[in-house]
């Protein structure tokens, strides 16, 4: 008979375990024996898995305290906003306020507009001559971010949005993002100033972002709301344009 697993040098055992899917490591391998539990709960195994899958960078190596959480957060990272660019009309956007002639979806660059910095974005939402607002509420548990992770690790929650005006019309823009508890009480909130874009602007796209950190335990939902209007009160869709909205949970 060959050598038993427990007789293998720890470095060799870590390399063997690193080839196993992460979920199986946590749910099965750590239950095998005390040694395996120690390795799965330790740092070296997860640093190796991160290196093997290209998840490490200069920033993460300096700041990471829990490499297991870093691994899972990196693998799960995605935009939690659905239909961020209007490809599915207003689907997934709730609490819609349709002031004036309401929201409209247009193709980039649009009249008196500019192309978006990313070629992957093809459409945008545009507002009218009275306030138009729309929102999404993200259920973090449904997206796979478990309660202990949110309460203990409190990973960064980053909200981003892009807005622009037409070059022939002035407009207003606002963004409000709230972190909500189980009962939808506000744990933390970011509200932008009301951005005023003057008439005869250059129609360039501007990114706005906010990072939530050290927000305390209890966060279960993220509510993302944005909107605006034109300042000339022209019938039609001369208000602010928005697209490529995102909410990400990051290591």
Q: Which of 48, 79, 7, 24 is nearest to 250 (CA)?
A: 79
Q: Is the pLDDT of residue 163 over 90?
A: yes
* Domain residue extents for the chain: 5-74, 94-249
Phi, psi of 112 (to 5 degrees): 55, 35
| Structure tokens given for 181 | 């508890």
pLDDT tens, residue by residue, 199-224:
999 999 999 999 999 999 999 999 99
pLDDT reported for residue 58 = 43
d(CA 119, CA 236): 27
pLDDT reported for residue 27 = 81
Q: What mean pLDDT is predicted for residues 58-83?
A: 77
**Considering the domain 94-249 in this protein, what is its CATH number?**
2.60.120.260
Q: Is the pLDDT of residue 2 over 70?
A: no
Q: Is the pLDDT of residue 121 over 60?
A: yes
> Where is pLDDT greater, at 23 or 156?
156
Q: Which residues pair with 226 in a beta bridge?
A: 134, 175
pLDDT reported for residue 135 = 98
State the CATH class of domain 5-74.
mainly alpha
Q: How many CB atoms lie within 10 A of CB 212?
A: 22
pLDDT cut 90: percent of the chain above it: 65
First to last CA, the chain: 44
Highest mean pLDDT, choosing among 65-74, 91-100, 237-246: 237-246
Q: Is the pLDDT of residue 60 over 80?
A: no
């Amino acid at each position: 008979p060959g050598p038993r697993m427990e007789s293998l040098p720890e470095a060799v055992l870590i390399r063997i375990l690193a080839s196993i899917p992460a979920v199986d490591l946590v749910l099965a391998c750590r239950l095998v024996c005390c040694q395996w539990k120690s390795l799965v709960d330790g740092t070296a195994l997860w640093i190796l898995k991160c290196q093997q899958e290209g998840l490490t960078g200069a920033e993460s190596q300096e700041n990471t305290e829990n490499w297991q959480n870093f691994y899972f957060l990196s693998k799960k990272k995605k935009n939690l906003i659905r239909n961020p660019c209007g490809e599915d009309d207003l689907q997934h956007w709730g609490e819609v306020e349709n002031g004036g002639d309401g929201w409209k979806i247009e193709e980039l660059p649009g009249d008196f507009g500019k192309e978006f910095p990313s070629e992957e974005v093809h459409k945008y939402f545009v507002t009218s001559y009275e306030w138009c607002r729309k929102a999404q509420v993200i259920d973090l548990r449904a997206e796979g971010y478990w309660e202990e992770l949110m309460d203990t690790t409190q990973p960064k929650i980053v909200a981003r949005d892009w807005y622009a005006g037409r070059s022939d019309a002035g407009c207003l823009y606002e963004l409000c993002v709230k972190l909500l508890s189980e009962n939808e009480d506000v744990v933390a909130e970011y509200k932008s100033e009301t951005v005023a874009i003057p008439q005869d602007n250059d129609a360039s796209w501007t990114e706005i972002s906010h990072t939530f950190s050290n927000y305390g335990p209890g966060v279960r939902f993220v509510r993302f709301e944005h909107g605006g209007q034109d300042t000339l009160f022209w019938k039609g869709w001369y208000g602010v344009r928005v697209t490529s909205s995102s909410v990400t949970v990051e290591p």
